[in-house]
Amino acid sequence: MNVHLTINGGSHTLDVPAQLSLAELLRDGLALPGTKVACGEGTCGSCTVLVDDRPVLACLTLAAACDGAKVRTIEGGSELLDRLQAAFTGHDAFQCGFCTPGQLMSALALLERSPHPSHDEIVDTMSGNLCRCGAYEGIAAAVAQVARVNG
């Protein structure tokens, strides 16, 4: 199926199988492996990317359904993402780092939509991204710090 999508600002017209997930398209088709797949069934948040500014699970998103969409991944970069990356580093908000791209994309979506989230809002939003190393303390602190600077 032919789809036209914008990925990290670049325009792509692609012929994709109906069943292909957005995660597979990004990782295997477009050599953007920063988006990770850890469960493959929408339970862990590792594959979180932004589709039309919404944080979605790329493993359960059909590439064919993204026709006309604006997709952003960890490789995309933005001023806010830079600040989140620095805050994640400064707060030791990861250990192995496998969930980190997904965590960052969730945090990015949150702060774009809600520049001054409450603590509860941060906890609620970021709870969809599992971290088995247990870096949650740093993650919450990093998001809160960037939110404070926003204000």
Partner 1 sequence: MARLVRTEAVVEGRVEQRYTVVEDDITPEYDLDRPPGVVGRPATRVTARSRVTGAATFTTDVRLPGMLEARVLRSPHANARVAALDLDAARAVEGVRCVLGPADASTLGETPALSDHPEFAGAAVAAVAADSGAAAEAALAALAPVFEELGFVTDLDSALARQEFIEEPSESERGDVAAALAAAEVVIESEFDAPAQMHNALESHCAVADWRADGLTVWTSTQSIYQAREQLATMFELDPERVRVICQFMGGGFGAKFGLGAEGVLATELSRRSRRPVRLVFSRRDENRAAGYRTPARISFSIGADAAGRLQAIEASAVMGLGTGGWAYPILEPAKALYACPNVHAMVLPVKQNLGPAAAFRAPGVMEGTWALEQALDEVAERVGLDPLELRRRNHADTDPGTGRPYTSKRLLESYDRAAELAGWDSRESLRGQGRVRRGMGCASQYWWGGGGPPAYAEVRIGAAARPVVTVGLQDLGTGVQTACAIVAAERLGVAVDEISVRAGDTALAGHGPFSGGSMTLASIAPAVRSAGHHVRTQLLDLAAEMFEISATDLTLEEGEIRSVDGALRHPITEVTSKLGNAWVTGSGSRAPNPEGMAVNTFGCQIATVAVDTATGVVRVERVVAVHDVGRIVNPMGARSQVVGGILQGLGFALMEERVIDPTTGTMVNAGLEDYKIPTLADLPEIVCEFVGQADPHLGLGIKGLGEPPVIPTAAAIGNAIAHAVGVRLRAAPYTPRRMLEALA
Partner 2 sequence: MSRLWTYERVGNAARAEQLLAGGGRALGGGTDLLTQLDRGIGDTETVVDLRGLGLDGIVVEDGRLRLGATARIADVARHAEVAALFGLLAECAGSIGSQQLREMGTVAGNLCQQPRCWYFRHPDLRCWLRGGDTCYAQIGDHRKHGLEPGDCISVAPSDLAAGLLALGAEVETNRRSMPLAELYRRPSEDDRSTLTLEPGEYVTQATVPRPADKSAYVRVGERAAWSFALAGVAAARFGDEHRLAAIGVANVPRLLDPADPLAGLPGLEMTAWKRRLLSTLVDDAVAAIAAD
Could you give the CA distance from residue 88 to residue 100 in angstroms, rounded to a whole number?
9
User: Which has the closest alpha carbon to 66: 12, 22, 17?
Assistant: 22
Task: Read off the amino acid at residue 85.
Answer: Q
Q: Order of strands across the sheet with 48-51? A: 10-15, 2-7, 70-72, 48-51, 54-57
Verify binding: residue 106, partner 2, rule CB under 8 A: yes
Q: Please pick, from the candidates 125, 131, 135, 146, the single residue that binds partner 2 as defined by CB under 8 A.
A: 125
Q: 47 or 66: whose CB is closer to partner 1?
A: 47
Q: How many residues bind partner 2 (CB under 8 A)?
A: 28
Site string for partner 1, 81-120 (x = CB under 8 A): ----x--xxx-x-xxxxxxxx--x----------------
Q: Which residues contact 136 (CB under 8 A, 6 or more apart)?
A: 126
Between residue 65 and residue 104, which ones bind partner 2 under the rule CB under 8 A?
Answer: 65, 67
Q: Which residues contact 84 (CB under 8 A, 6 or more apart)?
A: 104, 107, 108, 111, 142, 143, 146
Q: How far is the CB of 4 from partner 1 (least distance, A)?
A: 23
Segment holding 139, helix H or strand E: helix 136-150
Between residue 33 and residue 52, which ones bind partner 2 under the rule CB under 8 A?
Answer: 40-42, 45, 48
**Could you tell which of partner 2, partner 1, none binds residue 101, using a CB distance below 5 to 8 A set by kind?**
partner 1
Distance between start and end Cα atoms, the chain: 45
Q: How far is the CB of 106 from partner 1 (least distance, A)?
A: 10
Verify binding: residue 60, partner 2, rule CB under 8 A: yes
Site string for partner 1, 13-42 (x = CB under 8 A): ----x---------xx--xxxxxxxxxxxx
